Structure 1
Amino acid sequence: MTADQGRQPRVFTGWHMLGVMVLFFGTIITVNLIMAWNASHSWSGLVVQNTYVASQQFNGKVKEARAFAESGLDGKLSLEPGAVRYTLTRQGKAETSADKVVAVFKRPVEEHEDVQVEMAHQGEGVFVAATDLKRGQWIADITATSGDKVVYRQAIRFIAPGERP
């Protein structure tokens, strides 16, 4: 008589099926709960507060962008350790018509790190803000004004180098 002849064959019982079902659906429910939590605690998906108002302003913004492009104005953003520099030029020469530059630095998909800074005038067409941006992708919405009049508006998407946050 061999050792295998004395054993009873294993039987798949209802308890085994219950265990399989609990593990299967437990895994699916756990993954869904984790994904729902991540979705509710990350980017809201909100781009504009009121889509109707934004659609009504679209043509005006396109017209303004074309006017800025035709004016010959150009802005250049550069990052330095501890500072952000914005240089405004017209056809390659320093532009002196702006007396104030405000920059809003935004993350493409999150709002909690957004920061607005007023850049200090440092000379002809040069504006500087003492701020450090964390490493990663940013969008800079820059508005140059002279008094109450908008001289130039620009959006720049860039990647800030540096140490890991």
Structure 2
Amino acid sequence: MANQALGMEINDLKDLYIEQLQDIYSAETQLVEALPKMADAAATPELKQGFLDHLAQTRTQAERVASILTELGEQPGGKTCKAMQGLVEEGSEMIKEKAVPAVKDAGLIAAGQRVEHYEIAAYGTVKTYASVLGYGQHAALLETSENEEKATDQKLTMLAREINVAASA
């Protein structure tokens, strides 16, 4: 298999698939580090629990991606997802803001939804690549993760309805 270390060429869809999977793995491992901090910063018990629930899910998603990469003869690590770095930094800035609890929670939800939308797009893309490349089992696993991300986004939207109203008072 082609080594996907920084600077290696991406010559075909399979190479791009592997590169994108490594990127997602990096994103998920960064999120595993960030979610406990977001949970600690949340004032609303339901939001705090939502971040903790998503932490367990994120660990499982990282394991799924790692298993796919291993099956392809590739290492999960070695790449840094720059997009997730930026999204995590945005969340860190919100954690540090001096704001009333409801307003901070509204900001944490916004940061969380940006992450979810990025992940939905990333999983949708690699799911499509897996299908085109004939990796039906991979596509099914990636679709599971994509659906979990969509469900998390919906949960955040539901929480935002109440929290945003409280933040506007």
Normalising by structure 1, what TM-score? 0.23
Rg: which structure is higher? 1
Q: Higher helix share goes to which structure?
A: 2
Higher strand share: 1
Provide the TM-score with structure 2 as the length reference. Answer: 0.23
